[in-house]
Amino acid sequence: MRGRVANMAGIAGAGKRAMRILSGVQPSGKLHLGNYFGAIRQFVALQERGEAFYFIADLHALTSVRDAAALRRWRLELALDFLALGVDPARATLYCQSEVPEISELFWLLGTLTPMGLLERAHSYKDKIAQGLSPEFGLFAYPVLMAADILAVRGELVPVGKDQKQHLEIARDLAVKFNQTWCPDFDPQRGTGGVLVLPEPHILEDSAVVPGTDGRKMSKSYGNTIEIFAPDKQLKKSVMSIVTDSRTVEEPKDPESCNVYQLLKLVAPPEELEAIAQRYRRGGMGYGEAKQLLLAHLHRVFDPARERRRELEQRPDEVLDVLRTGARRARAVAAEVLAACKEACGLA
């Protein structure tokens, strides 16, 4: 991770300008362990290495949320989650996507250049169609809006989960297409002379897929999540509901095929994990005990953030202020990029 980031910083600005790190999360439900280990943990680490822009993808959330009160609540809750888990407004710019209207305008400019075939091949669209959901234009155009999110603020390094890799490729394709179409000096080999900067994905492989309580990928849509900020009782209930096989305490077990152990891997220290694995293999360790250990480690790792979040909840004005300041900063960059794009394509 270190080498890659240093390398990108070199490409981005030869030491003159900090690398722009950018990512977003949809406010479409409560934050879970998959979101943290697949996304937010990287956001927090990367804010030390460049100029980070993190946002609440509320326009994207409209493709699935149809409850205004819930969306309003989740937007604020996600801001609280980010801040409690360590996104630092002194280092990172935090904002709501819908507060930066330049993104939506760039979305259209990109849309006029987007081949239908590119969007028809997008996994997230194909998956939803396969689930029998009747498609709306917003869902189809989702990757174009995502490209606009990134390109509007010159995002260079984009930390995301594995499932977003294809969307990043589409964002790159659209940046190249725009530059090729509208910028006569664009050199695709050297990446110079264009108005849009080409983004790079940044994917953490080892925690790329966090399993849920039923062993499938942890996801809001499967109802198999462990919510980081759930009340104590609910957190315990989720952990106790993790599906295991019916081996007795005495029987030897394979740690690698156990959902509880897979989650312990994310939170237990390596020495302890090794000892747990040995006890699994030897027999004598029951799933109930493993779940209790997991619960204790979840508390150890997340209780400080859970406490910080409770404190922040008492000061919503401060959180709104962070979002307002963030939107102002993001708009300043997006307005510059949009002006350059409009000039390039003859709208100014």
The residue from 176, 209, 305, 340 that contacts ligand ADP (CB under 6 A) is 209
Scanning the structure block, which residue is given the tokens 């190249």?
Answer: 176
Nearest-approach distance from CB 70 to ligand ADP, in angstroms: 14
Nearest-approach distance from CB 60 to ligand ADP, in angstroms: 9
Q: What residues line the site for ligand TRP (CB under 6 A)?
A: 22-26, 57, 60, 146, 149-150, 158, 160, 164
Write out the binding residues for ligand ADP, residues 167-186 only, by CB under 6 A: none
Would you count residue 163 as binding ligand ADP (CB under 6 A)?
A: yes
Q: Which tokens sit at 253?
A: 């077990």
Write out the binding residues for ligand ADP, residues 211-250 only, by CB under 6 A: 217-221
Nearest-approach distance from CB 89 to ligand ADP, in angstroms: 20
Please report, for residues 8, 10, 204, 268, the alpha-carbon distance to residue 4 in angstroms, rounded to integers and kept in the order given.
6, 10, 12, 27
Cα separation, 232 vs 20, in Å, equals 37
Minimal CB distance to ligand TRP: which residue? 24
Nearest-approach distance from CB 78 to ligand ADP, in angstroms: 10
Would you count residue 34 as binding ligand ADP (CB under 6 A)?
A: yes
| Residue of 286, 238, 282, 237 lying closest to 261 (CA atoms) | 286
**HEC per residue, 44-105:** HHHCCCCEEEEEECHHHHCCCCCCHHHHHHHHHHHHHHHHHCCCCCCCEEEEEHHHCHHHHH
Scanning the structure block, which residue is given the tokens 């479409």?
Answer: 28
Would you count residue 39 as binding ligand ADP (CB under 6 A)?
A: yes
Q: Would you give the distance in Å from CA 31 to the centre of its chain?
A: 11
Number of residues engaging ligand ADP in binding (CB under 6 A): 19
The secondary structure element, H or E, covering residue 202 is strand 200-202
The set of catalytic residues is 128, 217, 220
Binding interface with ligand ADP (CB under 6 A): 25-26, 28, 34-35, 37-39, 160-161, 163-164, 209-210, 217-221
